[in-house]
Amino acid sequence: MINKIYFDRLINTIHDMELPYLRVCLTSFCNAYCYICHNEGQEKASSGGLSLHEYDEVAKLLAPHFHPPRVVLTGGEPLLFHDLYEVIKIFKSYKYTVGLVTNGILLDEHTQKKLLESGLDTINISLNSLDREKHQNFYGIDEFIILKKNLEVLDKHFMYPQKKINWVISDNPVFDDEIQKLCVLSQKYKFVISLMFDVNIDSEKTNSLFNRIKKILYNNYGEPSIEKHIKYKRYIEHLKFNNGSIWEFDYLQTEQNKHLLKNNVFCRNCHSENKEICYEGAYALRLFANGIFKPCLIRKDNEVKISDIFPKSNIELEVKYKVLDFPTKLIESLGFVELKRSHQVDKYHIVNKILNGKRTYMRLRNDVINNKMSFDFHQVISDIAIEETEIALNDSDDIDIMGTILEKLNYPFVCEVDKYRMVYRNGDIELVLDTVKNLGKFIEIELTGDEEHESHENLFQLVTKLSLNEKDRIIKKGYPDMILSE
């Protein structure tokens, strides 16, 4: 259910500002401490991120309002976000071009492969220096050797022009040897070197630094071929030199770019006291990890909360059937896309106990494959409705600590459910294929919604399409109930 008042307010702002794309801050957490970082304008450690269901709603409803649909995933550090690959798949399912901005420290070869398999289109790596000491001073951590190795193997998986180095220039002198190192990196591994400036550097200084860098490049590598164009409301210059290096000059913070970014209804009528220091204008629609849409970094009066647009329901409707095998080809033919796989080991401390008149379950979950842990509390509302509360845990030590606490509160360990899970999604509906140790194979159809007639219809229409038999339906029994009755 969408709250049309808040949704229309957001859409009107997108059109009034002529915002060119969506910029999603998956998490505010980061593994570096860059002294110039503004964290996309969000508060530090504001949230661990939104749910996959919320990202699916956002992707679906906003796709028609960006031409073409484009999303850039940032942070904090987006590689720290636990459901990153699933979020990429969700946006790709709605025909978005998906980009990622990272500091590259966690970008090992395994991660690169998973990003590519998920459908990632482009990757930008923020880099201040190819000198180890300077890099450490800028990022606040000594991970340069790891980063350098990650950059070298990136060439196996991402080709030109999929990958860029965002060379972040602070208010410091530009040295010739730094430019030469970047040229070698660009030439050898086919990176585009894109110049990015500290937000505190003004238009005059930006132009001065651009001219200085160009002079060094021209003196060392001769006249380049130059392509000029406007992309996402920004003047861009591409310089290709005879040595094979490629440079991109982004004139975002210059006076000549201001009329592009601020020539819209919203910016022309802006009366903010911070108007004069605004360099971004209509840059992008940001969605923060705490669920706030922020169209403008210097104003708060046009912010919209995702919880206002999509009033959150924590009621999950589900039906479960025991099967001999999984009809994966049929599932895919119905438009379902595989989101993720997991190996979940659940330790139950409450199984089917009546609390406040409701059947109640409490467990500690360890997702071995995805390294995710949680403490979960479920109450059964009806034969198809479950109310869920989940708290993320940091590691297996947290699971042990929580288990000890539950034991002391007189909630001893009852049983363990060990299962391999595949999750498919089509719109609001998830198909969960479980292979449970000692129990067999099961299909769950899940829908987050309410107990109204339309939600029932959606569930049971799919049951019919999958040719699931009512005699195989599991009613009033979860996996722990079935384990205990064996």
Peptide bond into 173 cis (omega under 30): no
Q: Which residue has the tokens 């219809």?
A: 457
CB 407 within 8 A of CB 413: yes
Greater model confidence, 381 or 350: 350
Does 451 score more than 60 pLDDT? no
Tell which residue, 13, 62, 462, 40, has the closest CA to residue 282.
Answer: 13
Could you give the count of Cα atoms lying within 13 Å of 426 in the half-sphere of its Cβ?
A: 11
Radius of gyration in angstroms for the set of CA atoms belonging to the chain, rounded to a whole number: 26
Backbone angles phi, psi at 395, to 5 degrees: -160, -175
Residue 100 CA: distances (Å) to CA of 107, 237, 362: 11, 21, 37
Residue 453 pLDDT grade (very low, low, confident, very high; cuts 50, 70, 90): very low
19-56 pLDDT tens trace: 999 999 998 888 887 766 655 555 554 445 788 888 99
Peptide bond into 76 cis (omega under 30): yes
Query: What is the rounded CA–CA span in Å between residue 33 and residue 141?
Result: 7
- In this structure, the number of other CB atoms found within 10 A of the CB of residue 437 comes to 13
3-state secondary structure of 357: coil
Across the range 134-138, mean pLDDT stands at 81
Both structure tokens of 433: 């294929």
CB 365 within 8 A of CB 374: yes
250-304 pLDDT tens trace: 876 666 666 677 778 778 787 777 776 676 777 899 999 889 999 988 788 889 9
Residue 198 pLDDT grade (very low, low, confident, very high; cuts 50, 70, 90): low
Does 443 score more than 60 pLDDT? yes
Across the range 407-434, mean pLDDT stands at 93
- At residue 138, the pLDDT reads 77
- CA angle at residue 314 from 323 to 417, to 5 degrees? 40
Across the range 335-347, mean pLDDT stands at 92
Q: Which helix (H) or strand (E) holds 148?
A: helix 144-153
Which domains are assigned to the chain?
A: 4-309 (3.20.20.70), 315-485 (2.40.320.10)
Q: Which of 56-70, 249-263, 414-428 has the lowest mean pLDDT?
A: 249-263
SS3 sequence of 23-53: EEECCCCCCCCCCCCCHHHCCCCCCCCCCHH
- At residue 93, the pLDDT reads 93
Q: Which of 5-9, 91-95, 174-178 has the lowest mean pLDDT?
A: 174-178
Query: What is the rounded CA–CA span in Å between residue 138 and residue 145?
Result: 15
